[in-house]
């Protein structure tokens, strides 16, 4: 393991791939490995890419990765597919969509599928990102499908989140329902070669104006354009208003504009100290998350199965209410402590 860590830190791709498998499957020694890597993390720019199925997320990641490679940045890609336990199809699809990147030593692509719970997937994704970060990739894309809590959780891992929409499909409406706009730092209307792209972009702008927390309070019109009003709280730093960028990913159309928008967001994070605040939030979320998992594991290890079975029976017979049952089980844990 020690060797694997050293080789990974020195840029050995085979070592990296093996290490990732170990981490992804939470094999024995993982905690130790991650601890050894941790001091080398915190340098990558993590960019989340999320949106409804088929909107063109993988195609966009492919185009953006090429753009970052032209700027001589190394790129890691984590494609998360929580919908299928065996996402062979999706992974094959990604391979095709991202074939421009094949054979480039400065790019590393990893696909992940659900094993067990979505919470487990979020944890595994976070660990995989951390390994890529330690391995020295400058930019790490995390692609997630859909608009559920798991996407929001994964998006929280990212410093910059791109939400991808496509014309038609009524995606705008889906987006509000899922509250996914609230996590967007940059909005992309991909498939801008299709009819209706203007409408989708307009609808998104209108929605931002009404619904985005920054937009709601801090936007004003200036020469007909929406501009951020400087926040009175900290004087000099304007709030971030998510730009809407139109792209045709397979043709690299709009990718320069998207790169500019991404850089602007990164710059905003640096200047506004938002990066520091957001990282504190991420650490806090992770800490609670890990504590919850660790406490639960400890509890399950200390309380025998037949005790659980008996408690469940007593609740079913209405001899015990669920709240009292929790107290009973916790009391056993306290006795042992
Ligand atoms: N016309 C058009 N087709 C596109 C565009 N971008 C992607 N596509 C096509 O749309 C399909 C889906 O693209 P993907 O990049 O796989 O989309 P995705 O969002 O990653 O899909 P999932 O990961 O399955 O949710 C593919 O057939 C792409 O070739 C675009 O800008 N215009
Ligand atoms: Mg995809």
What pLDDT, on a 0 to 100 scale, did the predictor assign at position 39? 96
What pLDDT, on a 0 to 100 scale, did the predictor assign at position 136? 96
Q: Report whether 135 contacts 9 (CB < 8 A).
A: yes
Q: Measuring from atom 12 of ligand 1, which residue has the nearest CA?
A: 54
192 Cα: distance to centroid of ligand 2 (angstroms): 18
Regions of the chain where pLDDT drops below 50: 84-90, 215-224, 230-232, 234
- What residues does 75 pair with on adjacent strands? 107, 139
Residue closest to 297 by CA, chosen among 157, 119, 156 = 119
Range list of H helices, the chain: 2-9, 13-24, 30-37, 57-70, 88-97, 118-134, 149-155, 171-178, 197-211, 213-218, 255-272, 274-302, 305-316, 322-336
- 263-283: b or e for each residue (b if 16 or more CB lie within 10 Å)? eebbebbeebebeeeeeeebe
What pLDDT, on a 0 to 100 scale, did the predictor assign at position 334? 77
Residue closest to 215 by CA, chosen among 242, 184, 235, 246 = 242
Question: Ramachandran region of residue 235, left (φ > 0), alpha (ψ -120 to 50) or beta?
Answer: left
What pLDDT, on a 0 to 100 scale, did the predictor assign at position 231? 45
Ligand 1, atom nearest to 81 Cα = 23
- For ligand 1, whether the C-beta of 191 sits within 6 Å is yes
Q: Report whether 61 contacts 49 (CB < 8 A).
A: yes
Distance CA(55)–CA(72), nearest Å, equals 28
Ligand 1, atom nearest to 55 Cα = 19
Distance CA(73)–CA(64), nearest Å, equals 11
What pLDDT, on a 0 to 100 scale, did the predictor assign at position 219? 47
214 Cα: distance to centroid of ligand 2 (angstroms): 29
- For ligand 1, whether the C-beta of 194 sits within 6 Å is yes
- For ligand 1, whether the C-beta of 252 sits within 6 Å is no
What pLDDT, on a 0 to 100 scale, did the predictor assign at position 96? 59
Q: Report whether 193 contacts 199 (CB < 8 A).
A: no
Round to the nearest angstrom and report the end-to-end CA distance of the chain: 33
Residue 234 CA, distance from chain mean position: 28
- For ligand 1, whether the C-beta of 8 sits within 6 Å is no
What pLDDT, on a 0 to 100 scale, did the predictor assign at position 51? 86
- For ligand 1, whether the C-beta of 82 sits within 6 Å is no
51 Cα: distance to centroid of ligand 2 (angstroms): 10
Alpha-carbon Rg of the chain, whole angstroms? Answer: 22
- For ligand 1, whether the C-beta of 168 sits within 6 Å is no
The total of other beta-carbon atoms located within 10 Å of residue 37's CB is 20
């Amino acid at each position: 393991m020690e060797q694997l860590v050293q080789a990974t830190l020195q840029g050995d791709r085979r070592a990296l791939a093996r290490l990732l498998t170990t981490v992804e499957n939470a094999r024995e020694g993982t905690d130790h490995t991650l601890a050894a890597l941790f001091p080398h993390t915190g340098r990558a720019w993590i960019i989340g890419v999320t949106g409804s199925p088929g909107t063109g997320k993988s195609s966009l990641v492919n185009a953006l990765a090429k753009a970052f490679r032209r700027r001589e940045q190394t790129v890691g890609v984590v494609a998360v597919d929580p919908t299928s336990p065996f996402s062979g199809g999706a992974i094959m699809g990604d391979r095709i969509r991202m074939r421009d990147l094949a054979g480039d030593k400065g790019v590393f692509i990893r696909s992940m599928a659900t094993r067990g719970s979505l919470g487990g997937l979020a944890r595994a994704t976070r660990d995989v990102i951390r390994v890529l970060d330690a391995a020295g990739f400058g930019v790490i894309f995390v692609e997630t499908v859909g608009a559920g809590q798991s996407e929001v959780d994964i998006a929280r891992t990212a410093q910059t989140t791109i939400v991808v929409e496509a014309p038609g499909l009524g995606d705008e409406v889906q987006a509000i329902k899922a509250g996914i706009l609230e996590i967007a730092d940059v909005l992309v209307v991909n498939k801008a070669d299709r009819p209706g792209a203007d409408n989708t972009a307009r609808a998104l702008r209108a929605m931002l104006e009404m619904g985005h927390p920054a937009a709601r309070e801090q936007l004003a019109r200036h020469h007909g354009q929406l501009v951020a009003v400087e926040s009175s709280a900290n004087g000099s730093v304007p709030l971030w208003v998510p730009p809407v960028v139109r792209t045709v990913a397979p043709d690299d159309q709009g990718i320069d504009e998207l790169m500019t928008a991404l850089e602007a967001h990164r710059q905003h994070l640096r200047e506004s100290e938002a990066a520091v605040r957001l990282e504190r939030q991420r650490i806090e979320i992770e800490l609670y998350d890990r504590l919850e998992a660790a406490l639960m594991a400890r509890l399950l290890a200390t309380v025998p199965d037949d005790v659980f079975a008996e408690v469940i029976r007593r609740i079913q017979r209405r001899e015990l209410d669920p709240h009292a049952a929790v107290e009973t089980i916790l009391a056993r844990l306290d006795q042992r402590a």
